Amino acid sequence: MSRGQYPNTRMRRNRMQAFSRRLVAENRLSVDDLIWPLFVIEGEQKTEMIDAMPGVARHSIDRLLAQARQAVDLGIPAIAIFPSIDAALKDPVGSLADDGDNLVCRAVQAVKSRYPELGVICDVALDPFTDHGHDGVIHGDQVLNDETVEILCRQAVHQARAGCDIIAPSDMMDGRVAAIRNALDNAGFQNIQIMAYAAKYASSFYGPFRDAVKAGAALGKYGKSTYQMDPANSDEAIHEIALDLAEGADMVIIKPGLPYLDILARAKTEFGVPCVAYQVSGEYAMKCAAFANGWLDRDRTILETMMAFRRAGADAVLTYFAPDIAKLLHQQR
Ligand code: PBG
């Protein structure tokens, strides 16, 4: 395509007036694209703040309902519920994951019975429930794949039975999407969606989250690098996404968010499927630290980041800023 040259072409003309900037804007933000991750704890009338995530708390189920209410009022389509389990209830095989009456299942039931139209997403992974904090069962320093997948299938069915709309396998075991799809279908849950954490990197940016769900102190020297991806790799992410789609994933997550926009953009252009970015806890923490110091403008930074995800190809974004973004968008109208 031939393009004009200066002085006939002046790129700034289109930018001169607000009306024109609106006309030529290629992307727009909407509350429709937000997923709000929330943390739940046992008890009643309980709220615990999370150190490295200012403004984010763990709530008991009764108070989680108030958060869900806020999501509904703000027009946020879906929340993701993460349990923070008491240490005394964790064991090496994450037994509580395979219990249909566990904290996350009760939280899902409570939210869905009060707000049936709010989408509810649950992770499938063992890390909130294992005393070592790995996403699967271990033998020595190995995280066992097939043994873990069997448990994940049962965990997924419990969550579906509790009313969860979207199952989000975040464990990075091989073959788990197909196995979970099969388990869900056999249990009569053909319409429960799977949002696979397809390209999930072994990232330092998950630190505050592991603190939030109290999992991560005992991961050992390799951390999660035997199952989560090497940050050096990009083609491998494409391979992972292709496999998860072939196994029946309805949507794919690319995680972390901003440092991995290249992966997101590739995923969207190469597959053209619903792609979800996860702006993770460490990204949230960094920004909040800068806001607290007055080094970055909170509102503008949050919106610009969300726009970056949309521009790169995200259809939706998991972000702890979801309510802030929703409020800002409502104000702009
Ligand atoms: C659990 C899980 C993690 C996150 C989402 N699900 C942590 C991990 O894999 O160690 C990270 C979310 C965040 O950092 O905000 N498998």
Residues 101-140 pLDDT 10s: 999 999 999 999 999 999 999 999 999 999 999 999 999 8
Query: In the predicted model, what is the mean pLDDT of residues 60-73?
Result: 98
Q: Which pLDDT value is given to residue 220?
A: 81
Asked if pLDDT for residue 1 goes beyond 70, the answer is: no
pTM of the model: 0.97
180: closest CA among 166, 169, 165? 169
Yes or no: is domain 30-331 CATH 3.30.70.260? no
Query: In the predicted model, what is the mean pLDDT of residues 243-267?
Result: 98
Tell me the backbone φ, ψ of residue 151, rounded to 5 degrees. -70, -40
77: closest CA among 44, 118, 130, 17? 118
Query: In the predicted model, what is the mean pLDDT of residues 249-274?
Result: 98
Q: Verify whether residue 214 is a known catalytic residue.
A: no
Q: How confident is the model at residue 141 (pLDDT cuts 50, 70, 90)?
A: confident
Mean model confidence pLDDT for the chain: 97
pLDDT tens across 79-99, in order? 999 999 999 999 999 999 999
Q: Do 155 and 142 touch, CB atoms closer than 8 A?
A: no
Q: Which pLDDT value is given to residue 216?
A: 76
Q: Name the token pair of 148.
A: 């873990």
Query: In the predicted model, what is the mean pLDDT of residues 58-74?
Result: 98
Tell me the backbone φ, ψ of residue 3, rounded to 5 degrees. -120, 150
User: Residue holding tokens 């509102």?
Assistant: 299
Beta bridge partners of 58: 39, 48
CA gap 224, 208 in Å, rounded? 15
- The per-residue b/e assignment along 264-284, b for 16 or more CB within 10 angstroms, e otherwise, is bbbbbeebebbbbbbbbbbbb
Q: Which pLDDT value is given to residue 22?
A: 97
Q: Do 71 and 117 touch, CB atoms closer than 8 A?
A: no
For a mutational test of ligand 1's pocket, the pick from 206, 253, 286, 288, i.e. the residue with the most ligand atoms closer than 8 A to its C-beta, is 206
CA gap 228, 245 in Å, rounded? 18
Q: Which pLDDT value is given to residue 218?
A: 79
Ligand 1 contacts (CB < 6 A) are 123, 125, 127, 135, 170, 206, 209-210, 224, 280-281
Query: In the predicted model, what is the mean pLDDT of residues 65-81?
Result: 98
Beta bridge partners of 196: 252
Q: Which pLDDT value is given to residue 51?
A: 92
Query: In the predicted model, what is the mean pLDDT of residues 204-219?
Result: 88
Q: Name the token pair of 27.
A: 């992307």
Query: Whose Cα sits closest to atom 2 in ligand 1?
Result: 170
Asked if pLDDT for residue 2 goes beyond 80, the answer is: no
Q: Verify whether residue 112 is a known catalytic residue.
A: no
Asked if pLDDT for residue 70 goes beyond 70, the answer is: yes
Q: Do 78 and 33 touch, CB atoms closer than 8 A?
A: no
Q: How confident is the model at residue 35 (pLDDT cuts 50, 70, 90)?
A: very high
Query: In the predicted model, what is the mean pLDDT of residues 270-284?
Result: 98
Percent of the chain surpassing pLDDT 70: 100
Distance 36 CA to ligand 1 centre (A): 14
Distance 209 CA to ligand 1 centre (A): 6
